[in-house]
Structure 1
Amino acid sequence: MSPKSVRFALPVLLVAPLYSWGFSYEIPAISPESESGYEEKPGWEAESFAVAAANPLATDAGYQVLKAGGNAIDATVAVQMVLNLVEPQSSGIGGGAFLMHYDGADVRAYDGRETAPQGVNGALFFADGEPLAFNEAVVSGLSVGVPGTLRMLEKAHAEHGELSWEALFTPAITLAEEGFAVSNRLHTSLANDEYLRQDSLASQFYYDAEGEPIAVGETLKNPALADIFRRVAAQGSAALYEGDVAEDIAERVQNHPERPGELMLEDISGYEALEREPLCTPWQQWEVCGFPPPSSGHLTVMQILGLLDQQPLLEAPLDDGAPSSGWLHQFLEASRLAFADRGRYIADPDFVEAPGGDWSTMLAPDYLEQRSELIEETSMGDTAKPGNPGELAVSWASQPEQPEYGTSHISIIDADGNAVAMTTTIEQAFGSRIMSDGGTGLAGGFLLNNELTDFSFEPEVDGEPVANRVEAGKRPRSSMSPTLVFDQDSGELVASLGSPGGAAIIHYTARTLVALRDWGLNAQEALNLPHAITLGGDVFVEEGRFSEATLEGLRERGHTVSERKLTSGLQAIRRLEDGSLFGGADPRREGVVRGD
């Protein structure tokens, strides 16, 4: 696909803002991703601004917005809309997001998490008195929450944007109309999915008559999404939350052939994006700012890091480019303790009180010191219990373990020093497998989330309520961990980072922070490191990335270890001492960094 400058025929309402800002989008010459599941990446240097996202076309859209005079928030809007098009399995306007923003003075946290419809209760995922199998709940109308991404981005843009809202949809509308080359990642995701073909719209759009997915390199256009984006560009988020598009979303959820959901028009139109107080935690020379509940990300990441800081220092935490078995043991045991607290206490703060009335009790140095004493030479296995960081008004039961998936991450630092870290999701790959064309009758559209399966399927355990149980209007607990890092002494921005990966987002983010601060690695080297995670039971290590000696060292310490693909999607941009930037993109996905 050769580059070409595009000034397409927009309605008069859109043309004036686009041209007044001089924003002429150019489709870049980008080939689909290679066949490799792990592709070495060099890291990218930039003098003044940089964009990191999960797909080259999305990264480029943000880059072009910044070149045209936009700021970090403007670029985030453009990147997300293109991701909806080129990486539909991971995020989009049918889902939710958490956005951390720094404007050079203050850090803000914008909550675009999905909400449960008013017609649901704790028995949402029960049938005949028993919880549904996980995938039965996912692939249904039951799992769809009210989308929040678009309304949240509109709120953030209204407060901080520089370019017109309309202009920011130019890249996505252009690519939706002109088409883009299908990447290997999208093709493979389509080929491997068991359920998407069951949705009539998605089946017709992404597969041929024999059920084969659209081929790598084939040009894919999305006229339905182009039409919806045009309406949103002209009318704002109301074009999604009211009228034809909202009606189509509600109709498709309510008329799911197997398990219809309770999502109503009133639920959609009443959605409110929130600004929450960010959590900023001192961590030696840095201050790490992340998202508060309903995200469990920052609290659990910082518990892990705080517990690690209590452990004896290891002389050689890296062994042939991978973390040593000694460091991994400490990391995994800290993770067990942090996840035990996460499972008991963290949920939507509008429904659940923090321990002791303040989430910071979970990160209090005395509490973490006490908890760290539970880490011994051999693993505690699946016996980790939650601690008591503060007096509780209600006694919560620990949530039973269940899967988490999904997601994409965007990191941006602009020329004025504004920064964004946004993690965005529709939960499982392709979400609920329900596609909406917005009532356009055109081919394509967008996918609806299955975010309600992030709630506990069981509302209580042994007669005690689970904090993260399903309740009407509630936001499900998340693991998303968009992170901004600052120097404690100077207050200057150090980095923006985050990752997809379900509950493993927490491990990926925590390990990356350690690698950046303690191991002298640059952003790309930190992202290249192999992964090891535990949610409290077995340990999973990245397939083929650790030596047998390291794995045996873990087993000798009592860990049950198995290998699997741990496909993170980390993005990180680090500000260097001379003020320049260095960005990294996860070698396990197709993301890149661009900047000047």
Structure 2
Amino acid sequence: MKSVTPIRYLFSARAIQQGALLLGCLALGASSALAADFQYTRPAISPEGGSGFEEKPGWSTTSFAVAAANPLATDAGYQVLKAGGSAIDAAIAVQMVLTLVEPQSSGIGGGAFLMLYDGDQVHAYDGREMAPGAVDETLLLDADGQPLDFMTAVESGRSVGVPGTVRMLEMAHEAHGKLPWKDLFEPAIRLATEGFAVSPRLHQSIASTPSLAEDSIAAEFYFDADGQPLAEGTMLKNPALAEILTRISEDGSSALHTGDIASELVARVQQHPEMPGELSLEDLAGYTAVEREPLCNDWLEYEVCGFPPPSSGHLTVMQILGMMAERPPIETAIHEGIPTVEWLHPFLEASRLAFADRGRYIGDPDFVEAPGGNWNSMLDPGYLASRAELIGDRSMGSGGAEPGNPGPLMTSWASQPEQPEHGTSHISIVDAEGQAIAMTTTIEQGFGSRIMANGGTGLAGGYLLNNELTDFSFAPTDDEGTPIANRVQPGKRPRSSMSPTLIFDGESGDLVASLGSPGGAAIIHYTAQAMDGMLNRDLNAQEALNLPHAITLGDTVYLEEERFPEATFRDLQGLGHEVEPRELTSGLQALRVTEDGFFGGADPRREGIVLGD
């Protein structure tokens, strides 16, 4: 595991660059009390628009910084850091507020991957959801043995995995926290009790998910008396969540995984009216978060540390960037804020090759053997160089990218067919003592399984349950009967694309950056492009996050709509790419260490901001 020199920053006055739009997003009267006396002060915050592209200035801070997907959540983390809390303390406060204000993306009913640098070592905490013990490989098949329709599976009890976020945060807090666990829930409990204004993004998410109204608890909570989505600005209280979080704050993760709250969660899954699931009380009580060995790999003059399988994120990001690094330097990668075709073509071709390997080899390491017995075989420089040689002047097109052979396998796997992936939120934090985190957290689809649980409180509201089991391959084998690495198995964690990333100077070992994004499988492209922009193209964190997106999962190329000139479409098509415009709503957060402290960026496509002193 990586060991580097601790980083120390002087605590100084708050210094945040911001535009007039964000002036109302600062905390008012945040406590500067000692850690043991943390008291949350409700801020005056109105999140900006939740769709389209809205310019953000980037933020400079000198001592610490927190970046998250909603201003209320960012502010909760800021107040924890201001009171002397650690980065993991702040992350817990941020996550609990996100459960309330961004319920469509993450929460206590889901899972997360956490990368944590303690000033000496890098740690990787796995809170990924897990398949119930009673499922088998037919979980996502219909009565005729064919894969279920994707959304039919999502909106059912079958899609719900055993949640792991709270157990994982508890494990990390026990090792690296400073403030009492109970105090970190105060912001979310206060906001849930007193109410918060429904943001534009939350309103739009409800409006675009009419099936949410088919769940009785969600219908009563997120829709008005006429069955319409709650309007922007509606003051929404969540007394059920306040009660659940209060109990977790007092009794720890056991309050969610055992007892009345767990019983009600299981009932909601097992009593689904159309397609019940197999989740049990034993599954909840037996869930264990795992500390895994992080993957730290050289790239340019940096060491990049990311999450190992069951995440495919780090391996696939680093394959893409590694193949790009093996090719001749690109003379002009960005022109007037737009990636050039000279850069886009090899990036997209490297993505095809990396996703071919991803679909063949990566799965839960407790069930799937790494090629050659080591996941780093997929990032071996010689292997990446051989893969880079496959990138020609024209696109290899749909189906043209085949998996490589990074090392011998104990078992032969079939390639997983492409299927949708969605969801998530990202948090990046660095505290005044140099502890840094990158955490990507999810319930998968918008509003997860569309099943809401209230903990048996009898109160309005609650939290959403994940649909993470649809991240498994629906088909367990290919047409020849060869098993797929990411097939459903009891107790298995589904493959993820989440890519929480910590970057260090390759020579000094000093922290350079923390970043990550939501976006399903496109998380990989978003993170790779942001890294390339920040560390290889001399862009600051905000400029890198502003770059227009381009992705491919192996066939069609999608360019972020209304962000590229027609010439880009035409030139890529001339190279053999099938190209379509699409809304590509990333949710990148990034913190970059500077000579004076930090410069942070928040994705202009979502509601996030950066705060710090």
Q: Distance in 2 between matches of 1:395 and 1:49?
A: 47
After TM superposition, the runs of 4+ consecutive aligned structure 1 residues lying more than 6 A away are 1-7
Alignment CA distance shift 1:141-1:396 (3 Å): same
Q: How does 1:379-394 map to 2 (within 5 A)?
A: 379-382=395-398, 383-394=400-411
Counterpart Cα distance in 1 of 2:151 and 2:376: 35
| Alpha-carbon distance between aligned partners in 2 of 1:335 and 1:296, rounded to the nearest angstrom | 13
- Residue aligning to 2:18: none
2:521 to 500, 503, 506: 503
Question: How many angstroms apart in 2 are the aligned matches of 1:579 and 1:488?
Answer: 20
Aligned position for 1:469? 487
1:445 aligned to which of 449, 462, 473:
462
Kept in 2, the 8 Å contact 1:54–1:409? The answer is yes
User: d(CA) in 1 for partners of 2:197 and 2:94?
Assistant: 17
**What is the match of residue 541 of structure 1?**
559
Contact 1:437 1:443 in 2 (8 A): yes
State the partner residue of 1:124.
Answer: 139
Q: Structure 2: which amino acid aligns with 1:293?
A: P
d(CA) in 2 for partners of 1:32 and 1:114? 30
1:366 corresponds to which residue? 382
State whether residues 68 and 74 of structure 2, in contact with CA within 8 Å, keep that contact through their aligned partners in structure 1: yes
The Cα offsets for residues 207-246 of structure 1, whole Å up to 9 and x where unpaired, read as 0132211111111100000000110010000100000010
Q: Which amino acid aligns with 1:435?
A: M
* Matches for 1:56-135 after TM superposition, within 5 Å: 56-128=71-143, 129-135=145-151
Confirm or deny: 8 A CA contact 1:6 1:174 kept in the other structure. Answer: no
Deviation at 1:67, TM superposition (A): 0.3
Give the structure 1 partner of residue 248 of structure 2.
232
Matches within 5 A, 1:116-265: 116-128=131-143, 129-265=145-281
Report the counterpart of residue 525 of structure 1 in structure 2.
543
| Gap change, CA 1:117 and 1:35, over 3 Å in 2 | closer
Name the structure 1 match of 2:45: 30
| SS of corresponding position for 2:367 | coil
**2:305 equivalent in structure 1:** 289
Retained in 1: the 8 A contact 2:46–2:71? Answer: no
Check 1:504–1:36 CA distance in 2 against 1; reply closer, same or farther (3 A cut): closer
Tell whether 2:285 aligns with 1:272. no
Which of the numbers 565, 570, 576 marks the counterpart of 2:588? 570
User: In 1, are the aligned partners of 2:35 and 2:178 still within 8 Å (CA)?
Assistant: no
Note the C-alpha offset of 1:302: 0.2
Aligned residues: 585
Per-residue deviation, residues 408-432 of structure 1 (Å, max 9, x unmatched): 0000011111100000000000000
Does the 8 A contact of 1:397 with 1:460 survive in 2?
Answer: yes
Match of 1:516 in 2: 534
Is residue 378–residue 557 contact of structure 1 (8 Å, CA) maintained in 2? yes
Deviation, 1:19, is 8.7
Q: In the alignment, which residue of structure 1 is the partner of 2:443?
A: 426
Are 2:505 and 1:490 equivalent residues in the alignment?
no
**Residue identity matched to 1:517:** L
Change (3 A) 1:452 1:38: same
Is the CA contact 1:325–1:551 (under 8 Å) kept in the aligned structure 2? no
Q: Is the 8 A contact 1:94 1:149 kept in 2?
A: yes
Gaps of at least 5 residues in structure 2 are 1-23
State how far apart, in whole Å, the 1-side matches of 2:226 and 2:310 are.
42
CA distance in 2, matches of 1:563, 1:20: 49
TM-score, normalisation: structure 1: 0.97
Kept in 2, the 8 Å contact 1:32–1:182? The answer is: no
Which AA in structure 2 matches 1:285?
E
CA contact (8 A) 2:51 2:606 kept: no
In structure 1, C-alpha distance between the alignment counterparts of 2:47 and 2:29, rounded to whole Å: 20
Q: Structure 1: where are the runs of 5+ without partners?
A: 8-17
C-alpha RMSD of the superposition:
1.4
1:341 maps to 2:352: no
**TM superposition shift of 1:32:** 3.7
In the alignment, residue 30 of structure 1 is paired with which amino acid?
A: I
> Percent identity over the alignment?
67
